[in-house]
Each structure stands twice: as structure tokens, then as C-alpha cells.
């Protein structure tokens, strides 16, 4: 395989919607998502009303790549070999001694399941996108509250969290105007959703003008998809795409056989009959990548059309499209704009008036570095007493180089490049930093010896 990647070599460009093509105002959307869960947990399940009040500094807890060990109420930051780098019980940070006593230096007990890219089970939940993160903070605070009343060994609140998710985000919630999230976004879309930059709109049109087939694949239901696209791209957004697939139920869209995930037509945003195959471009619901690929063969006239797919979730988008379909994958990684832990000292020394919009007195931006958890990409550890600290890659960082073709902070970052621009791709025989564009995280370049892919 070539170590270079270009969109010019691809016949099809697939795009996720939420946090990929549609960018959110993360601070505002995080508050709303948190509230949508907390309101349900307090009013319907009887949890402590204190959950409804969130101090600005509490948002520092939110960091992508954490795993919740449900029974223990512990949140974990894992190394690439599955050992625990940092941990908290609820929101309370565990000391190195507590981590050693609880987990030792062994591989975490569910790591084999997680490393098979199972993001959730009856035992754990992996937080890998911005819709998830407010739920992590809420779960951690629930553990704090339960401990305050009666310290315990095991926790069973997760079933209530699932009920809160289902109530607020079921496919009928937008139409029924129920829950907290959808009614508020409908009232104030500009508060939560960013307008798409002109450069990205022009990029989409250039792709079409150069004969690329554009496919939008989102797990959002069709009515919410339409609101997002109209606000993000304009009322003529449908002209930009050859195929729009909503309620895609990723990662199952990529991994499940066609008979388990048939495509369905839509009428007034209501799903209609199941289709035995996909015969023409259009707007569909649910579906599977096998039938989609058969249609793409017909549309391109190619036996094996090359697809590049853009997404923000490692589990739902990137791994699944790469592993099950062998598509090129472009990871949207906003943490590339947020720096690394090594940069926090210089940030702290800035006078308040020079700090970013969400620093200081305000809640931090979710893509910036967490003081509690450190860098998304690396962690420093001391293997033995008295030894110098060494830099260790996180499990999340390893996944990026293993399953992404390239990683970029946003589509806007590449929108002005020529379509035949050649990116260095991640590959097993190159540096782990090769696939980051426009530049790798500074913390991956800060070790004394180059860190290479294994």
C-alpha cells in the first residue's frame, strides 16, 4: 500500500454528520446534553437534585478516551497495552497507590473485549465522542452522590442512564417534541450548531464537480438530520449529496449483514417498507454498507470503487468502516486543536484577558486538555521507584494510527487544499505521527526517542 493518500484517487466520499460535517458549539451543547440526562434521572428516577447544578470547573472531568467500569464506578484512562494510567472513583481522582492496589500493573480485566473494538457491554462503556462526554460527568457525579449516602462495592445505575438516553433520543423524540434536548435545539439552533464555513461548502461542490459521489451517513433520524443540514449548509443542502442515509444505526450499518439491516424508504420522515436492495440514489433510512456498496459499483461503473469516509467516532465510524469494509478513513479529531498536557503550563501563565473564551472563570472547551486526565494521546509514568518518568501512548492514540488513514482537526483544515493533495498516511512501517494533518500533537514529538508504531 502506498504511504500517500489522496481524495483524487477515491470515487466516493462518505461523510458522517454530527461533529464531522456539522460542528457544534461544544460548551453549549455539552450543557444541554448533560441537562437532558440529569433532568430525567432526577425527575423520573429519583436521583439527587444536586445533579442539576454543575460548577464550571466540573467540566474538566470530560475527556475522550475514558472507560467506565460500571460495577466499580471507576473511570479509567488506559495505556495501549491495557494497563491503567489514571483512574477516578466517581469524580475523585485515585492516587497511584490506589490504582496499583486496585488494578496492579496487569492488563485491565475487560481490555480484550475493548480491544476488539466493542465500545459497550454489560460491564463497561467507552466514551469516544462529544455526545457521550456529558454523560460521563453525570455518571461520575451519580457515583459521588451514591457514596455520600451509603458507600458501596457495586453500582447498578447504568440501567437508569440507558432509560434516560432512550427517552431523550429515541427516533420519535424530535417529532413528538419530548425530552429536553430536541425541543431546545429546535428553539435555538444557532446557540448549539455552527454554520458551515464557505470553504467547506465550496469543497463539497468541488468534489461533485470532479465526479465524486457524495454520501451522507448519519445515525441521526431524518427530521433532526434535516434541521442540522439546513442550519449548517443551507436549504439546498440535498443538492450536495447523491445519497443521504439517516438512522444508520452505526456501527451496525458497517458490520451487520443486509438481512438484519435492510434499507427503508422515507415518507414525511416516517420509515416505510424494507428494501431487498438499493437500486438508485436518494434519501433512505437504516440500511447496510453491503447494499450501499453494490449501488456504488453501479453508479461508478467500477468493480471495486474506492471510498473515503470521514467520521468522528473511532468505534462507530472509523474502525467499522476500516475493518468491515476496507474503506479509507479520515478521523475528525478536534483534540488536534486542543494541544497536549505539555502545553498547559504556558497556558496557565497567560493573563486572564489573553486566555481563550472558555478558560479562567468559564467552563473549558471540551476539546482542550483536562487537568485531571492529562493528554488524550499520552501519559507519563514511572515504572519503578526513583526511575525517570517515561512517556506512554494511550489506547485511544494507538487506535488512531491503527484504524485511520489520516486524522485532521476538521474538514475546514483541508478544504482549501487541491483535491489531488497527497497526505502521509498512518501505516505500520512509519512513524505514529505520520498521518496527522496539518501537524501531529506536540506531546507525541516531545519524547527523547522517536515513538514508532508497533
Q: Which residues of 142-168 are buried (b: 16+ CB within 10 A; e: fewer)?
A: bbbbbeeeeeeeebebbebbeebbebb
Write down the catalytic residue from 16, 128, 223, 242. Answer: 16
Nearest alpha carbon to residue 64 among 362, 408, 338, 403:
338
C-alpha grid cell for residue 142?
A: 451519580
Give catalytic status of residue 18 as yes or no: yes
β partners of residue 424 = 4
* DSSP annotation string for 69-82: ETTTTEEEEEBTTS
Write down the catalytic residue from 9, 18, 160, 236. Answer: 18
CA-based end-to-end distance of the chain: 17
Phi, psi of 310 (to 5 degrees): -100, 130
Cα 311 to Cα 218: distance, rounded to the nearest angstrom? 10
* Residue 193: partners with Cβ closer than 8 Å, 6 or more residues away: 22, 23, 24, 25, 185, 228, 231, 232
DSSP class of residue 341 equals: G
Give catalytic status of residue 69 as yes or no: no
Cα 309 to Cα 316: distance, rounded to the nearest angstrom? 12
CA dist 96 to 102, 357, 388, 397, 442, Å?
A: 10, 33, 16, 22, 25
Sequence-ordered alpha helix ranges (H) in 44-192: 96-103, 111-115, 133-149, 158-169, 173-176, 181-187, 189-192
Q: Do 63 and 376 contact (CB within 8 A), yes or no?
A: yes
C-alpha grid cell for residue 419?
A: 483535491
C-alpha grid cell for residue 148?
A: 455520600
**Helix/strand/coil for 366:** coil
**Helix/strand/coil for 385:** coil
**Helix/strand/coil for 54:** coil
β partners of residue 282 = 243
Cα 181 to Cα 50: distance, rounded to the nearest angstrom? 20
Element (H, E) at 381: strand 378-381
Q: Do 411 and 423 contact (CB within 8 A), yes or no?
A: no
C-alpha grid cell for residue 76?
A: 479509567
Residues assigned a catalytic role: 16, 18
Amino acid at each position: 500500500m502506498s504511504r500517500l493518500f489522496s481524495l483524487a484517487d477515491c470515487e466516493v466520499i462518505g461523510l458522517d454528520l454530527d461533529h464531522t460535517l456539522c460542528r457544534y458549539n461544544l460548551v453549549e451543547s455539552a450543557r444541554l446534553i448533560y441537562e437532558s440526562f440529569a433532568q430525567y434521572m432526577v425527575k423520573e428516577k429519583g436521583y439527587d437534585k444536586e445533579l442539576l447544578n454543575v460548577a464550571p470547573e466540573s467540566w474538566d472531568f470530560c475527556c475522550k478516551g475514558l472507560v467506565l467500569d460500571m460495577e466499580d464506578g471507576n473511570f479509567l484512562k488506559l495505556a495501549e497495552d491495557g494497563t491503567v494510567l489514571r483512574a477516578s472513583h466517581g469524580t475523585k481522582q485515585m492516587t497511584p497507590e490506589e490504582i496499583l492496589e486496585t488494578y496492579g500493573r496487569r492488563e485491565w480485566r475487560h481490555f480484550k473485549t475493548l480491544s476488539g473494538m466493542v465500545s459497550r457491554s454489560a460491564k463497561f462503556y467507552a466514551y469516544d465522542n462529544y455526545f457521550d462526554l456529558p454523560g460521563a460527568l453525570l455518571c461520575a457525579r451519580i457515583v459521588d452522590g451514591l457514596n455520600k449516602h451509603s458507600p458501596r462495592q457495586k453500582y447498578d445505575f447504568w440501567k437508569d442512564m440507558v432509560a434516560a438516553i432512550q427517552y431523550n433520543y429515541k427516533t420519535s423524540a424530535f417529532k413528538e417534541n419530548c425530552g429536553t434536548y430536541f425541543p431546545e435545539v429546535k428553539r435555538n439552533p444557532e446557540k448549539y450548531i455552527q454554520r458551515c464555513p464557505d470553504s467547506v461548502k465550496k469543497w463539497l461542490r468541488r468534489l461533485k464537480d470532479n465526479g465524486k459521489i457524495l454520501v451522507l451517513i448519519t445515525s441521526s433520524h431524518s427530521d433532526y438530520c434535516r434541521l442540522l443540514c439546513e442550519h449548517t449548509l443551507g436549504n439546498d443542502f440535498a443538492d450536495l449529496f447523491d445519497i443521504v442515509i439517516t438512522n444508520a444505526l452505526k456501527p451496525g450499518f458497517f458490520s451487520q449483514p443486509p438481512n438484519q439491516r435492510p434499507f427503508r424508504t422515507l415518507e414525511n420522515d416516517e420509515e416505510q417498507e424494507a428494501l431487498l436492495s438499493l437500486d438508485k440514489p436518494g434519501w433512505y433510512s437504516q440500511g447496510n454498507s453491503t447494499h450501499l456498496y453494490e449501488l456504488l459499483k453501479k453508479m461508478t461503473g467500477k468493480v471495486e470503487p474506492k471510498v473515503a469516509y470521514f467520521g468522528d467516532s473511532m468505534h462507530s465510524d472509523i474502525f467499522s468502516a476500516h475493518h468491515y469494509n476496507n474503506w479509507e478513513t479520515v478521523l475528525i479529531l478536534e483534540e488536534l486543536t486542543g494541544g497536549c498536557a505539555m502545553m498547559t503550563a504556558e497556558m496557565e501563565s497567560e493573563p486572564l484577558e489573553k486566555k481563550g473564551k472558555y478558560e479562567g472563570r468559564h467552563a473549558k472547551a471540551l476539546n482542550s486538555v483536562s487537568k485531571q486526565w492529562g493528554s488524550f494521546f499520552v501519559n507519563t509514568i514511572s515504572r519503578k521507584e526513583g526511575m525517570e518518568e517515561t512517556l506512554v501512548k494511550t489506547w485511544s492514540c494507538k487506535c488512531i494510527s491503527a484504524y485511520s488513514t489520516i486524522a485532521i482537526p476538521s474538514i475546514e483544515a483541508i478544504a482549501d487544499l487541491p483535491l489531488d493533495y497527497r497526505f502521509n498516511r498512518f501505516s505500520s512501517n512509519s512513524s505514529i505521527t505520520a498521518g496527522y494533518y496539518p501537524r501531529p500533537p506536540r506531546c507525541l514529538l516531545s519524547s527523547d526517542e522517536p515513538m514508532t508504531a508497533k
